[in-house]
Structure 1
Amino acid sequence: MSADLAIRLRRAAFNRALAEGDLAAIGPLLAADAMLVTGTDSAVLSGRKAQLAAWKREFTHAPRTVYTRTPETIVASPVEPIALEHGRWQGVAAGQTNASGAYTAKWRETGGVWVIEAEIYLTLA
């Protein structure tokens, strides 16, 4: 399977996990030391445990915002098992988009499985 297809499938799994509030499904999609830089305040979430704790808190908010990431391009390295995903994201709560923007994610293939090493978000609306 190509890196492009594998990463798109993993991103779809991440989107499903976010929509369903499924922490157990999110964990395997993240590298142990994954980094996330948020879109508005540039807060840094360092490591899988920190991200899972943040998602756990996020899942308790009412109404809950469901975040979706939509890949536009995926560029795989020809010399290393890494790739960059570029796309658009949005957060929807109670049927209303409350934030959206652009993102980039760095993926690494480890043991035949693609995991997210880093993500950076830009809030545009």
Structure 2
Amino acid sequence: MLELLVAAAAAQGFDCSTDHPAAAARATFNRAIREKKTGVIKRLLDEDVVLVTGTDSGVISGRDAQLAIWREDFKNPNRIVFQRTPLCIAASKVEPIATEIGRWVGRPERPDGSEVGGDYTAKWRKVDGRWLLEAEIFTTMHEREALAIP
């Protein structure tokens, strides 16, 4: 299904690639998640950023609310480490904004073979020369539990 969105974006004449500054910002965000660096995450989020979670469609509204969740997550010894992989970033020809379409996966920090993942879309805006996340919507598409070893 995600491939259809990417193909539709290309068919509409959007330059759909991952060769965009938002891709570097996404890589920095992924690294900050792995390394538990809320200060780096803060610098990548718009003050009014909105995140819609993948399974229950919970809405996390605002940079401070999202940072509070990341801080709690980073303390959890059984935390899931999330990685987002952009497949397409299409820049607007009208405003300094871009749409990112990609896949996400979450795996336990202490790998056990389980994972959860799916698709996502994100909206970026260039503010004072930096690309900031304004919105992300995640959809959970698969889950694999660890194999129980007796």
Structure 2 length as normaliser, TM-score? 0.79
Structure 1 residue corresponding to 2:129, chosen from 98, 101, 112: 112
* Alignment correspondent of 2:120: 103
* More strand per residue: 1
Distance of 1:43 and 1:82 partners within structure 2: 24
Judge conservation of contact 1:15–1:68 (CA < 8 Å) in 2.
Answer: yes
Kindly state the Cα deviation for residue 35 of structure 1 after the two structures are TM-superposed: 0.2
The answer for unaligned runs of 5 or more in structure 2 is 1-17, 143-150
Identity of paired residues, percent?
A: 50
Moved more, 20-29 or 57-66: 57-66
Structure 2 residue corresponding to 1:26, chosen from 32, 38, 41: 41
Structure 1 residue corresponding to 2:58, chosen from 43, 46, 49: 43
Distance of 1:65 and 1:56 partners within structure 2: 13
Residue type matched to 1:44 in 2? V
The RMSD of aligned alpha carbons is 1.2
Residue type matched to 1:85 in 2? E
Once superposed, which parts of structure 1, at least 4 consecutive aligned residues long, lie more than 6 Å away? none
Secondary structure class of the residue paired with 1:59: helix
Aligned 1:75-90 pairs, distance under 5 A: 75-90=90-105
The answer for unaligned runs of 5 or more in structure 1 is none
How far does the alpha carbon of each residue in 1:57-76 deviate from its partner, in whole angstroms, 9 at most, with x for none? Answer: 11112222110000000010
Residue type matched to 1:69 in 2? R
Structure 1 residue corresponding to 2:81, chosen from 43, 57, 66: 66
* Alignment correspondent of 2:5: none
